[in-house]
Amino acid sequence: MSSSRRPLIEIENLTVGFPDRAQPALVDLSERIERGEVVAITGPSGCGKSTLCRALTGFIPEMLPARVSGAIRIDDRSVWETDPAQLATRIGLVQQDPDAQICTLNVWQEVAFGPENLCLAPEEVRRRVEAALDAVSIAHLVERTTTTLSGGEKQRLAVAAILAMQPEVLLLDEPTANLDPEGAKAVFDLLDALRKREGRTLIVVEHRLGPLLPLGPRLLVMDRGRIVLRRPTRRHEDLVALGLRAHWEHRPPPVSPLAGMGLRLEEVSFGYESSSLIEQLSIDLCPGEILGVIGPNGGGKTTLLRLIAGLEKPDGGRVVRPEAATIGMVFQHPHQQIFERTVQQEFAIDGPMSPDAFERALCAARLTGLAKIAPFSLSLGEQRRLTIATTLRRAPDILLLDEPFIGQDRHNAAWIIAQILAACERGAATVLVSHDVPLVASLCDRVLYLGEDAIVGDPEVVFSELTLRGQTAFTPGYWEGKDA
């Protein structure tokens, strides 16, 4: 076979197992990826997508110890016989959390970091930095400190930092998971531009496949460590037919709202130093009602939850809660609200439980058999279920959820939705912050767009207004392929 006909990446019977897990993360996986191809990889949480990314870049087993068998070759050269640093000149990985991959304190230095490590001439480093910043449209941020960037800006910076290395293959592991809809749209537009302009090989791990369709990707669906489906995909109908587009049933509006006051915000204002985040926001929430909060990164969504929870005092106005109301708050990252050494002890923080009640709680949270396990060793999905279960154990009158769906597959998302609905039926006034616009549209009774010129109202009214403003990324239509 001549070298020109060889695939760029060849995976042969790859099996990867981690020391602390009985089941292998990847099982006898084989795949060929050609030059210039766009490949979209999807599948439920824990199916091995990130493991595959780390194996392709040589981090497994070099930096993350694992049992490996089979072979991965890039241009006929074994990945396992190559130093990951050397491999990085061929294949660049953009990780899920942009914050967790920024190594320096300044935008220019961050993009120059890779080329400088390659010992390129200073003129070449400068040229590459300028080109990479231009490619992701953040040349204006060149002098900024990395800690002052928004989530979207950080993700673009992470892509620019990899682009400056000029790898043949760009591998992106859920690049939009932490981004607001407009930030996510910008990343998808950027990928489209890279494919059209440079014909670069793109491998993208994503849950949200709709916006990737214009790139004409070859779809790989993974499940339990295997690729279970391979198919070129261009139409939203294909995703629907394959059951890959999350479709949430609209929640019927409550026939008669529960009586009383669930939560009231009276002309609440808040800001940091000279900048104002929330201005004279007034909302009345009935018991059992769900308010969905959407908006750009840094727009004040988490701050709003903190104000409601009493963790922050408003600069103006007031937050009125029913007397002796219990507040439950689910934080964005589950590990930030896990404190004990075992799952059982974690439940016991909120008071003693009978063995039967504890078993029922474990079963409801789909954590049966994990009572003695250290919570930090649970998967992200299991940690999320644990934190929601312990939060709801206190039967909160006000339930606050900050991006509970990040990193969760459809099954986990459906479980979370069921818990929210159960809490609402019991009368909890619920505030849900989420970037998942279609889900917010289907689940929430009212929507608050928190950004410049906040809007609050019925979902249809808010989304119509956002469409008129041209902020289509914040409308469900964009994500459901009606406006892609």
Partner 1 sequence: MITRLAYRVGTRGLHRASPAGNVLVLSGFLVAVLACPGVLVKIGALVLVLGLAVLSGEPLGTFLRNIRFVVIFALVLFIAQALSNRGGTPLFSLGVSITDQGLLAGAQMALRFLVILTSSFLFVLVTDPDRLAHTLIRLGIPYRYGFVFILALRFVPFFQHELRTVREAQRVRGIRTSVRNLAGLQRAVRYTFVPVLVSGLMRVDSIAMSMKGRCFGLHPRRTTTRKERWGGADWTAAALFAVLVGVAVLARRQSWL
Q: Which residues bind partner 1 (CB under 8 A)?
A: 54, 57, 59, 63-64, 83-86, 88-89, 92-93, 95, 97, 99-106, 108-109, 112-122, 125-126, 146-147, 161-162, 165, 306, 309, 311, 327-329, 331, 333, 335-339, 341, 349-350, 376, 390-391, 394
The residue (of 105 and 240) whose beta carbon lies closer to partner 1 is 105
Amino acid in the structure at residue 209? L
DSSP state of 272: E
Q: How far is the CB of 62 from partner 1 (least distance, A)?
A: 8
Q: Could you tell me the two tokens for 163?
A: 């682009």
The residue (of 3 and 274) whose beta carbon lies closer to partner 1 is 274
Return the percent helix, strand and coil in the chain, to nearest 5. Answer: 40, 25, 40
Beta bridge partners of 11: 31, 72
Instruction: Find the radius of gyration of the CA atoms of the chain.
Output: 24
Contact indicator for 330, 416 with CB cutoff of 8 Å: no
From 73, 35, 32, 67, select the one nearest 51 (Cα to Cα). Answer: 67
Q: How far is the CB of 245 from partner 1 (least distance, A)?
A: 29
The residue (of 330 and 444) whose beta carbon lies closer to partner 1 is 330
The residue (of 277 and 466) whose beta carbon lies closer to partner 1 is 277
Q: How far is the CB of 230 from partner 1 (least distance, A)?
A: 27
From 77, 64, 106, 80, select the one nearest 14 (Cα to Cα). Answer: 80
Q: How far is the CB of 85 from partner 1 (least distance, A)?
A: 4
The residue (of 32 and 394) whose beta carbon lies closer to partner 1 is 394
Q: Could you tell me the two tokens for 172?
A: 């992106």
Q: How far is the CB of 142 from partner 1 (least distance, A)?
A: 12
Q: How far is the CB of 377 from partner 1 (least distance, A)?
A: 10
From 204, 399, 380, 205, select the one nearest 292 (Cα to Cα). Answer: 399
Q: How far is the CB of 292 from partner 1 (least distance, A)?
A: 21
Cα-based angle 84, 89, 95 (whole degrees, multiple of 5): 65
Contact indicator for 484, 213 with CB cutoff of 8 Å: yes
Contact indicator for 402, 306 with CB cutoff of 8 Å: no
The residue (of 95 and 442) whose beta carbon lies closer to partner 1 is 95
For 245, phi then psi, to 5°, come to -105, 120
Beta bridge partners of 281: 268
The residue (of 88 and 433) whose beta carbon lies closer to partner 1 is 88
Amino acid in the structure at residue 261? M
The residue (of 116 and 315) whose beta carbon lies closer to partner 1 is 116
The residue (of 116 and 168) whose beta carbon lies closer to partner 1 is 116
Q: How far is the CB of 335 from partner 1 (least distance, A)?
A: 5
DSSP state of 216: -
Alpha-carbon distance of 247 to 268, in angstroms, equals 35
- Encode 179-194: b = buried (16+ Cβ within 10 Å), e = exposed: bbbbbbbbbbebbbeb
Residues 6+ apart with CB under 8 A from 247: 240
Which residue bears the tokens 């058999």?
A: 369
The residue (of 100 and 418) whose beta carbon lies closer to partner 1 is 100
Q: How far is the CB of 400 from partner 1 (least distance, A)?
A: 8
Q: How far is the CB of 472 from partner 1 (least distance, A)?
A: 32
